[in-house]
Amino acid sequence: MQAGQVSTLRRYPVKSLLGEDVPSADLTSAGMAGDRAFAFIDVETGKVASAKRPKLWRDMLAFQAATGADGTVGVRFPDGRWLSITEGELDAAMSRALGRAVRLAERATAGLALDRAVPEDVLAVGEDGQAASIELVLAQGSPEGGFFDFAPYHVMTRASLAAIDAACPHDAIVADRYRPNIVLDMDVPAFAENDWVGAELAVGADVMLKVIAPTPRCAVPMLAHGAYARAPGAVSAVAARNSIPLELLGPGNVPCLGAYAVLTKPGRVSMDDPVRVVTMPS
């Protein structure tokens, strides 16, 4: 049996901004409580503003979304300013900082999409280059919709992260770059998540997650994240070591790290909770 424990719980209150670690969280079919609760919308296109299109939005990764003591979400700017989402000036301040008009949204409408640059193109032409992109309709694997790229949960093992870190001695490879909700410390080989599709994970006393697909990697991990500098290896090493077929994105192989999951039994999870793979696909 593959077993271990939860080593990180992380949520991202505003899509494409830096997130926050939490000691415990309620997990529901709509996602981890407080995760991807908001997103900025590009006023011109009506699409979600996302660092997946680095040419326009990579600076979003210099801002941190966090939850205050009163439970209100706010945004910390690179200069240290803190603006609550309840303050009317947030849209204008973010628009000025990003150089493009945005507005904060709390509800994802049906068919909402973002532009996803092809990561190999970004590696080739640079973040300011005109990389090819595809339109990605959000939350197609999420039973209750939302601002998720695909599914409401993203899990990753320390073993997979360590394999990429070992391949990139000159880059800071940290879990934050890949934006998982749950990082698992398990005695498994690197990229074990590839084989979990169809499996169920028991987390803590109550929670059950079903793995539905490997997580394809976009250009975001290679971008500067807060204090972490740009790290091309965060994407190129994944492409070199774990490019696999992924029907979600059409024919050919796709660099993947971690796995998407949906909830089959809700509950509360905490750091260091036990986790085990309880069923494996035949």
pLDDT for position 22: 98
* Percent of the residues in the chain that have a pLDDT greater than 70, as a whole number: 100
Contact 17, 281 (CB under 8 A): no
Contact 233, 167 (CB under 8 A): yes
For residue range 158-188, what is the model confidence (pLDDT) as tens digits? 999 999 999 999 999 999 999 999 999 999 9
pLDDT for position 121: 96
Whether the predicted pLDDT of 282 surpasses 80 = no
Which band of pLDDT confidence, cut at 50, 70 and 90, is reported for residue 248? Answer: confident
Rounded Cα distance, 216 and 203, in Å:
23
For residue range 203-222, what is the model confidence (pLDDT) as tens digits? 999 999 999 999 999 999 99
Domains by residue range for the chain, with CATH: 3-279 (2.40.33.20)
For residue range 18-55, what is the model confidence (pLDDT) as tens digits? 999 999 999 999 999 999 999 999 999 999 999 999 99
Contact 78, 94 (CB under 8 A): no
Both tokens of residue 131?
Answer: 């990389």
Contact 118, 133 (CB under 8 A): yes
pLDDT for position 69: 85
Contact 13, 25 (CB under 8 A): no
